[in-house]
Structure 1
Amino acid sequence: MTINAVAQILAGQPVAAGLDDVVAAETRLSHVDGQAGELIISGFHLHQLADWSFEQVLELLWRDLTPEPMDAAQIRAALGKARLRAHTLMQPLLPGLAHLNAVEGLRLLLSTLPDEENMPHHVMAVGAVPVFAAAIARQAAGLKPIAPDASLSHAEDFLKLLRNEVPTSDKVKALDTYLATVSDHGLNASTFTARVIASTKAGMFSSVVGGLCALKGPLHGGAPGPVLDMLDAIGTEKNIRPWLTDALARGERLMGFGHRIYRVRDPRADVLKGAVSRLKEGSERIGFAGKVEAVALELLKEKKPLRPLQTNVEFYTALVLEAVGFPRESFTNVFAAGRMAGWTAHVLEQEQTGRLIRPQSRYIGQRAGSF
């Protein structure tokens, strides 16, 4: 088919703004049903993965995509080695991060991972993020980075790298659940970005850095922190209803409610609500947040009865990450630590197709010779 023929066909087709409902890839990795409020990850409903370790989720996502398959125990050992390697590579670079914010620092460090790295790149990418993210958070607090402990699980070492103390089992479990919950979510903006880059054969590290750059945008991965800002601003239980009422009257968005895809409650919110409810610390904050959620849902239903606005993943993400000890400036980086599972799997899957992603566009500018 000639270029002119393609242009003529496209000229008669409506453009899907934001590529809504456009199928751009086939994948076995995850399925999002926004009408039913359902998230399936490689054949499992999300709630079935709530008690899994992050390593088990990686085994599920990487299955049949790597030259040498690994079970969860082997993945745990490989990630331990990757964290040690990332710590070594990071050391000379840390002083140069002082003027960068947390996501910019992670972006820089990930971009330095060498393409000639001998360790499997998907393992290295996943293993590096906790090391980098924790070191960035500690440096911002005036503290030196901690060396990884390769014998620990990924979630346990992440928390130890952050606080330099052995975390409690309930915090490790909560972080494991969070990482599993955000591991993959269809062809979201960052995952699609990673697949487009992968389709050019640019390699794993370039692809996941592109994913992080997309995640950095406030319309994608930057919203959990403002949930805590909202809770802080509300302050007391008696102020919940008047504060939320005033915010809605001013046309402000209530952080942690509504989603581009889900027309019902985000299933990730329920999984994370369960995770945060089992934590031994922070029960007062968590209880307060639950009351804010209840009133917010009531007011949103009254004000916008025709527009479903339910609790989304950001609301309980903020509570989980705060409760296990992450500063809110690190929230996007922790999100990246979990989503790196999906990014790497999608990159591996895209590389198997061998097809460059190259969509068409419709030209709406001046015709040649018309000016």
Structure 2
Amino acid sequence: MYKPGLKDVVAIETKLSNVEGEEGRLQYRRHNVKELADRYTFEEVAYYLLNGHLPSKEEYYEFDQSLRKHRNLSDASFNLLKQLPEHLSMMGVMRTMVSSLEIASSKWPYEKQSAIQLIAKLPTIITHRVDMLNGHQPINPRNDLTHVENFLYMIAGHEKSNDEVKMLETYLILTMEHGLNASTFAARVTASTQSDFHSAITSAIGAMKGPLHGGAPSGVIDLLDEIATKDNAVNIIKRKLTNGERIMGFGHRVYQTQDPRAETLKNMLTQMEHTPDWVDLALHVETETINLLKEYKPDKHLYTNVEYYAAAVLKSLQIQPDMFTALFSSSRIVGWSAHILEQAENNTIFRPLAKYID
């Protein structure tokens, strides 16, 4: 039976994540994503996805030290990054750099070390690129900081508060993995040919670059910037609904109830000692918008998705919108890598049929 875009076609069996859209649940392997985001670090969850079990103290130490060790770019990679044209997008830069990096043997059969090295280097590529475009000397990574602490340090140029680290770490954990989405599928298709690890990740980045997959948080920021104050929320949302405009950050192709990632981000933000003003606006707009959506579209199930509160987190951290998709990719590379490794364990090349029409 022909199904455009392979919609609802089961193409793989996976142990990596379980997305239950009607119930609004998401698991990484055997654990609920909320539990992982609340209780564990970026390093622990990344290890869990890549290895199938949470790390022991010794395993955590070895994994963490390996990430810290591989943050720096080689001289050749640094020089290539400097030479890339200014007009190249951040995702284009990431695609080019990943394809050129000198890492552990990335040929079939794959090694987990290839994944670790790429996960470690993406924050450095992203922040160095921003610094270069702004005419600043790139800030070198610090190996005395955790993965997320170091990422924020390189973005801001100074260490950030525990609350700010928690905000970004929660977001990165919640976006590590999400089933057979477009970029993950692209990675697995490339891996199924027994191509190299770089190529599989580059395929995923190319798919993530598309605005239908990786660009939604910017639209949420545009919406909240337009609303600006709580008093404007109802009138602006009503106008958009009357005009048939999409309300960015609401609704999801999979989830028919609230996106569990959005709920987890929201809970984390509301439990902070000092809620940023921008988050306070987002909370108010969510309440008003959901009420209006029930009135204007009673037959739909439209709730906040992860991009809505991702925008609140990234805006509060003063991260520029042109970094959003790259930041998302710096987290999702964990899931891509886990899927590539899983594909290699029981590989069958993807070769769907095409129906000829005249």
Length-normalised TM-score, structure 1? 0.89
CA RMSD, 1 decimal: 1.9
Whole-Å separation in 2 of the counterparts to 1:356 and 1:115: 25
Match of 1:149 in 2: 142
Q: 2:224 aligns with which of 227, 231, 236?
A: 231
Match of 1:71 in 2: 59
Whole-Å separation in 1 of the counterparts to 2:227 and 2:52: 49
- What is the identity, as a one-letter code, of the residue corresponding to 1:156? E
| 1:172 and 2:165 aligned | yes
Match of 1:330 in 2: 323
- What is the identity, as a one-letter code, of the residue corresponding to 1:287? D
The alignment partner of 2:303 has SS state of coil
- What is the identity, as a one-letter code, of the residue corresponding to 1:34? G
Match of 2:208 in 1: 215
| Long gaps (5+) in structure 2 | none
C-alpha spacing 1:230/1:310, structure 2 compared with 1 (3 Å): same
Whole-Å separation in 2 of the counterparts to 1:61 and 1:173: 20
Shift of 1:324: 2.3
Shift of 1:141: 2.7
Whole-Å separation in 2 of the counterparts to 1:171 and 1:35: 32
Shift of 1:117: 5.1
Q: 1:37 aligns with which of 10, 16, 24?
A: 24
Q: 2:303 aligns with which of 304, 310, 313?
A: 310
Whole-Å separation in 1 of the counterparts to 2:74 and 2:223: 35
C-alpha spacing 1:238/1:325, structure 2 compared with 1 (3 Å): closer
Question: Is the Cα contact below 8 Å between 1:225 and 1:318 reproduced in 2?
Answer: yes
Alignment of 1:117-156 (within 5 A): 120-156=113-149
Question: Is the Cα contact below 8 Å between 1:174 and 1:279 reproduced in 2?
Answer: no
The alignment partner of 2:188 has SS state of helix
- What is the identity, as a one-letter code, of the residue corresponding to 1:163? A
Q: 2:80 aligns with which of 93, 105, 108?
A: 93
| 1:240 and 2:224 aligned | no
Shift of 1:277: 2.8
- What is the identity, as a one-letter code, of the residue corresponding to 1:44? H
Whole-Å separation in 2 of the counterparts to 1:148 and 1:297: 42
Question: Is the Cα contact below 8 Å between 2:19 and 2:27 reproduced in 1?
Answer: yes
Match of 1:112 in 2: 100
C-alpha spacing 1:273/1:141, structure 2 compared with 1 (3 Å): farther
Q: 2:282 aligns with which of 277, 280, 289?
A: 289
- What is the identity, as a one-letter code, of the residue corresponding to 1:83? R
Match of 2:256 in 1: 263
Question: Is the Cα contact below 8 Å between 1:87 and 1:131 reproduced in 2?
Answer: no
- What is the identity, as a one-letter code, of the residue corresponding to 1:304? K
Match of 1:25 in 2: 12
Question: Is the Cα contact below 8 Å between 1:208 and 1:344 reproduced in 2?
Answer: yes
Question: How far does the alpha carbon of each residue in 1:257-309 deviate from its partner, in whole angstroms, 9 at most, with x for none?
Answer: 00011111100001111233345666211111111111111111111111111
Length-normalised TM-score, structure 2? 0.92
Whole-Å separation in 2 of the counterparts to 1:281 and 1:91: 38
The alignment partner of 1:167 has SS state of coil
The alignment partner of 1:31 has SS state of strand
Bigger drift between 50-59 and 273-282 goes to: 273-282
Question: Is the Cα contact below 8 Å between 2:191 and 2:340 reproduced in 1?
Answer: yes
Match of 1:251 in 2: 244
| Long gaps (5+) in structure 1 | 1-12, 366-371
Whole-Å separation in 1 of the counterparts to 2:96 and 2:6: 30
Question: Is the Cα contact below 8 Å between 2:29 and 2:52 reproduced in 1?
Answer: no
Whole-Å separation in 2 of the counterparts to 1:133 and 1:53: 21
Match of 2:35 in 1: 48
- What is the identity, as a one-letter code, of the residue corresponding to 2:236? W
- What is the identity, as a one-letter code, of the residue corresponding to 1:74? E
Question: How far does the alpha carbon of each residue in 1:117-156 deviate from its partner, in whole angstroms, 9 at most, with x for none?
Answer: 5892111111111111111222233322111112321111
Residue identity over aligned pairs, in percent, reads 38
Match of 1:163 in 2: 156
Whole-Å separation in 2 of the counterparts to 1:281 and 1:168: 12
- What is the identity, as a one-letter code, of the residue corresponding to 2:277? E
Question: How far does the alpha carbon of each residue in 1:27-46 deviate from its partner, in whole angstroms, 9 at most, with x for none?
Answer: 10001011111101010011
Match of 1:10 in 2: none
Whole-Å separation in 2 of the counterparts to 1:73 and 1:208: 26
- What is the identity, as a one-letter code, of the residue corresponding to 1:71? E
Work out the number of aligned pairs and report it. 348
Higher CA-based Rg: 1
